[in-house]
Amino acid sequence: MAHLHYVLFGGSVFTIFAGLYYWWPKITGRMLDETLGKWHFWLMFIGFNLTFMPMHALGLLGMPRRVNTYAPDFAGPNLFISISSFVLTASFLFFIYNAWTSLRHGAKAPANPWDARTLDWSTQSPPAPHGNFYSEPVVTSGPYDFTKPAPYFGVPVRDVALPPLDERLLRRKGFRRVS
């Protein structure tokens, strides 16, 4: 049972959060707080290992799966696992707080905060509501050509004067300005 939880949680939840941290600036136009992000990661990492790693030892010691009560020998380690799961859960509160404060007061995200080399980062954050690009981007080299500085596509977005957005149209479509 331990290996299943260890692989499923570690392989899915960590990557979901990695994706959220990576795409947050593009989706919301705001940056997450890096310090809170580090606290979230380390608490989740420690809570994850303290929750699921002892399950390996319990399995090797012979604890049966799918039981509603534990033998007295396994009560202590299972209590430790339960307490550790609260540390893991508490780590999610750091992300929720970080997301909430970012949406309300976070620093405005630049178009390409990670100096990424793909076209999705060559438009403003968040992207324009229709078409994403005001003009067709010009690609001058491949995304893995690290001999050229990022962004590798034509003119960097921050140097382009973007036309004004029609605020009335955006409000009708449900968008709001991020200031």
Q: What is the pLDDT of residues 110-135, one digit of tens each?
A: 888 887 777 788 777 787 776 677 66
- Stretch 71-81: mean pLDDT: 90
Reply yes or no on whether the pLDDT at 46 is more than 50. yes
Q: Identify the pLDDT of residue 156.
A: 46
123-131 own/partner pairs: CB under 8 Å, 24+ apart = 123/157, 124/157, 124/162, 125/25, 125/26, 125/28, 125/29, 126/26, 126/27, 126/28, 126/29, 126/178, 127/26, 128/165, 129/170, 129/173, 129/175
Whole-structure pTM value: 0.75
Stronger pLDDT, 166 or 10, i.e. the higher one: 10
Question: Strand, helix or coil at 179?
Answer: coil
The mean predicted confidence, pLDDT, of the chain is 82
Q: How many CB atoms lie within 10 A of CB 53?
A: 13
With a cut of 60, say whether residue 31 has pLDDT above it: yes
Q: In angstroms, rounded to a whole number, what is the distance separating the alpha carbons of residues 26 and 122? A: 10
For residue 16, what are its two tokens? 């979901």
69 Cα distance to chain centroid: 37
Lowest mean pLDDT among 38-47, 63-72, 82-91: 63-72
CB 47 within 8 A of CB 83: no
Of the given ranges (73-77, 90-94, 99-103), which has the lowest mean pLDDT? 73-77
Q: What integer is the mean pLDDT of 86-102?
A: 96
DSSP 35-66: HHHHHHHHHHHHHHHHHHHHHHHHHHTTPPSS
Candidate from 23-27, 41-45, 105-109, 165-169 with smallest mean pLDDT:
165-169
